[in-house]
Chain A
Amino acid sequence: MFSKGKVMKQLFIALLILTAVVLCPKPASAELRVVTTTTDLGYFASTIGSNKVHIDTICQGTQDPHFVQARPSYMVTLSRADLVVAVGLELEVGWLPSLIQGARNPAINPGRPGYFEASSAIQAIDIPQGGVDRSRGDIHPFGNPHFWLDPLNAKLATHAIAERMAQLDPANAEFFRANARAFEQRIDAKMAQWTAQMAPFKGTKIASYHATFNYFHKRFGLDGIGYLEDRPGIPPSPAHLVDLIRQIRDQHVPVIFHESFYDRSTSDMVGARSGAQVLVLPTSVGGANGTATYEQLIDTLINQFLAAMKKAKP
């Protein structure tokens, strides 16, 4: 049996002591602790920070960034962070807000220097026009968030992340900026190669499962004709697929880009019925073998596309 007063008193004293212990100021840690939502942002941040920052990433490269489970263990990671780098444009709207709230770390609250959305550095495309409601599926009202597959956007994002890290860790500001510049130069060099590789295929028509590749299409002059998933977040309907299959046949669309984390049976079926090749592609760093760096990720996308086009040649 519990005796009321005594138990309560002891419980509250114990809690009080615990609170005091927990609220003690954190020991000043030597390195900047950065948490990124995606592996691409993680790669940019670690390129900038090198050995002078600690990087954690929430969403794995093989994972669908729209649908991450808001596991409380991520709150523990976020509770120790100095900076959160997110994609933004509501990509993480289903899980990041509750993780940040649960982390109880004022430094990373939206609006603070410790919260940064990389999409703020780029020009968003696919901003829905006209009436926006959910009969169009789970759309992103502020534009397409999958900006990172355009290498020039990767440069812009890296530059902006470096500036934010410099603001939070002024002692290493020049180090961060120099690393960001080196990355931008690397991308410039690769960009010349990529542009040359893709030049012969300007105007090639592409279908994809979700609107993940639109920035890639735009940069390399591909023509996205439509999506299998006609309303984001809702499985494709047969009526829509019939239309798409006919469109693919009539317009001789050679390939379907399929994001590796979506169920591929639908894409395979559309491929088989329309004659287009299905390319299962990673969409993030670490999304497939041989994509440990951002440059390798874009290389993989381009090489797979080129190989498919070679096969598709009439």
Chain B
Amino acid sequence: MTVQVYWEDVAEGMKLPSLVKNVTTRQLVQYAGASGDFYEIHYDKDFAQETGLSGVIVHGALKSAFLGQLMTDWAGPLGALKRLSCQYRGMDYPNQPITAKGTVTRKYQEGEQYLVDCTIWLENPEGESTTPGTATVMLPSRIANAK
């Protein structure tokens, strides 16, 4: 089990624990079924190449799901994801590691909510960011709990 992170434990500049995903073509088909996104560029190599791609590519939405997991894993059972934003700038391919990473950029309070903003991104095996984004989570506070 993961240890619950509290707002007081967080500092700006802190790195989030990375999440490594290795997508198989089987998972692309599984995601197509679960999401209802059956666009052929994600499972039909000939089709993908006809549109000018080098092969099948990972669904953008699946990549955003990985960034969602990066955040919900970190926020833990008492935290909540408030905002998730990402842009699909580069293609990602199956059968190679995709790593979700994040850094805390801002820690602040809004009313009763204890919030943290992060810069998040996916990295391909070459270390390039293919999917930059931002996220905001609400975390539990020890101070607020003690009141």
A complexed with B:
no
A-contacting residues of B (Cβ < 8 Å)? Answer: none
